[in-house]
Amino acid sequence: MAQLWGGRFTKETDRLVYNFNASISFDQKFYKQDLQGSIAHVRMLAKQGILTEDEKEAIVTALEEIGREVEAGTLAITDEYEDIHSFVEANLIARLGGVGKKLHTGRSRNDQVALDMKLYTRQELLDTDGLLKDLLKVLLKIMEEHTSTIMPGFTHLQKAQPITLAHHMGAYFEMFKRDRLRLKDIYVRMNYCPLGSGALAGTTYPLDRDYTAKLLGFYGPTLNSMDSVSDRDYLIEFLSALSMVMMHLSRFCEEMILWNSNEYQFVDMDDAYSTGSSIMPQKKNPDIAELVRGKTGRVYGALISLLTTMKGIPLAYNKDMQEDKELTFDAIDTAKGCLALFTGMLDTTRFHRERMRKSANGGFTNATDAADYLVHHGVPFRDAHAIVGQVVLTCLEKNIAIDDLSLVELQAISPVFEADLYEAISMETCVEKRLTLGAPGTAAMEQVIALERAYLAEDWQEQERRTKE
Ligand code: ARG
């Protein structure tokens, strides 16, 4: 049991208490960030004359060495240390003796852990954004290929009006684009450095917080030391954004599962992304899509869990906050894993144009257009609606589509119908006439695709990197 404290204690910590309190099993995940933060802290201490140049050099060199050894697996992070901060400091002291003991000057584990978690989350947020961008690229590719792949659009899971596959994929493009915007937003709000806040009330050393913030790639230091050590808003925001990502993925998975079913057969998922049955030899199951859908609950759970943990905590730091880590790590790993897998799955899925097209023909997806035809010939819309309702009823009795009725049969219901109706309600016409911005008509779709392409060409992370240089 290696602890950073103990001077004022007369008894050993109970073993169960030690285990209950320790966080090394999970906070070792950010050992790199802990070292990075310590190196920045030490550089700042030297710049301010609080440490000598020699002391700084010795500490930085040793910290970098610890990093390399952990990375190489020659230095193991073991549970004899309470947390990752204790592990690093103990190792440093073992190497440097007295000089190592100066590392923690003007710092508390409270601002240290606030920094580590923020550095870790910031990188994970950027990585998640990158994964979303990969998914958007695949979506755009499918959209470009399928502007004339006609399929039924649904409401209430009932065939409604014909659309195109490009249009359907475009809906998801918008969702994931908003997800990226949310991440960027969170990044902008969270990118302030808590280091230098001490335990809660700052410190008496003349720290240069602007300098540390700059070294660590932050916009600047946070402005209230009590808030700095107890702010976990950015984690809750990130979990909320991840929940939204998962909700979108889950809806998409649900559709892929439906489309992959024997009844729909709109898609064929690649063998590499499907699994078989131990008993039924014919089965090829969409397990990956189902798992992504299933894992959504885990991420939602993390969000609710952290919101609940935070709700009754008085200022400033309290140990409850240690609970932020395991669930956040799990949610991030889950969401990132799901994003990567889903992108691969989508990229390898084959779309059956013919099946989609055939499905659009059934289910009277052109009934609205038949009514619009009558309206163009002077029939008030409500009357046209009733007439086409009658047409549909006739078709249902005969089990055929509107286009299958003869002109004589149609005219028996309304004399307004002429031979040009068939052209007016063909699937192609139905789609092509929908040219309002955001609609499936090819010209409208091409316009949107050009906008999405331009959006993908500019990268906010790239811009962010450039402004930092
Ligand atoms: N392991 C702790 C956490 O994750 C680090 C901060 C400890 N601070 C303290 N005052 N006990 O929150």
Question: Residue 81 — φ and ψ, nearest 5°?
Answer: -105, 150
Render pLDDT for 66-111 as a digit per residue (tens, 0 to 9).
999 999 999 999 999 999 999 999 999 999 999 999 999 999 999 9
Per-residue model confidence (pLDDT) at position 284: 84
The residue annotated as part of the active site, out of 25, 261, 277, 376, is 277
pLDDT-based confidence at residue 411 (cuts at 50, 70, 90):
very high
Fold of 110-149+164-204+219-358: Fumarase C; Chain A, domain 2 (1.20.200)
Residue 368 has pLDDT above 90, yes or no: yes
Query: What is the mean predicted confidence (pLDDT) over 35-63?
Result: 98
pLDDT at 29 over 70: yes
Task: For the chain, give every domain's residue range.
Answer: 6-105, 110-149+164-204+219-358, 359-451
- From CA 16, how far away is CA 408, in angstroms rounded? 87
Is the separation of the CB atoms in 111 and 197 below 8 Å?
yes
Residue whose structure tokens are 């989508």:
346
pLDDT at 290 over 70: yes
DSSP percent split of the chain into helix, strand, coil, nearest 5: 65, 5, 30
Q: Which fold has domain 6-105?
A: Fumarase C; Chain B, domain 1 (1.10.275)
pLDDT digits (tens, 9 = 90+) for 193-224: 999 999 999 999 999 999 999 999 999 999 99
The CATH code of domain 359-451 reads: 1.10.40.30
Q: What is the pTM of this model?
A: 0.95
Close Cβ partners of 233 (under 8 Å, ≥ 6 residues apart): 189, 190
C-alpha to C-alpha distance for 206 and 228, rounded to whole angstroms: 18
Residue of higher predicted confidence among 271 and 84: 84
Q: Encoding tokens for residue 215?
A: 């070294």
Which sign, positive or negative, has the C-alpha torsion 335, 340, 343, 346? negative
Ligand 1: list residues with CB < 6 Å.
23, 27, 83, 109-110, 113, 317, 319, 321-322
Whole-number Å distance, alpha carbon 197 to ligand 1 midpoint, is 14
Mutate to test the pocket of ligand 1, among 13, 81, 112, 113 (most ligand atoms within 8 A of CB): 113
pLDDT confidence tier of residue 468, bands split at 50, 70 and 90: confident
**For the CA of 324, the nearest atom of ligand 1:** 4
Nearest CA to ligand 1 atom 7: 109
Of 105, 63, 81, which Cα lies nearest the Cα of 26? 81
Alpha-carbon distance of 306 to 63, in angstroms, equals 32
Pairing of strands 220-221, 350-351: unpaired
- pLDDT class for 325, splitting at 50, 70, 90? very high
Distance CA 402, CA 361 (A): 9
Share of the chain above pLDDT 90, in %: 93
In one-letter notation, the amino acid at residue 285 is: N
Instruction: Kindly list the distances between the CA atom of residue 162 and the CA atoms of 151, 262, 344, 369, in Å, as whole numbers in the listed order.
Output: 6, 21, 28, 10
Distance CA 181, CA 136 (A): 13
Specify whether 25 is catalytic: no
Above 80 in pLDDT, residue 469?
no
Tell me the average pLDDT across 144-168.
97
Q: What are phi and psi of 49, to 5 degrees?
A: 75, 10
What type of residue is 326? Answer: E
**Is 277 noted as a catalytic residue in this protein?**
yes
pLDDT at 1: 64
Q: What is the pLDDT of residues 125-138, one digit of tens each?
A: 999 999 999 999 99
Which of 25, 77, 319 is the pocket-test mutation for ligand 1 (most atoms within 8 Å of CB)?
319
pLDDT at 2: 67
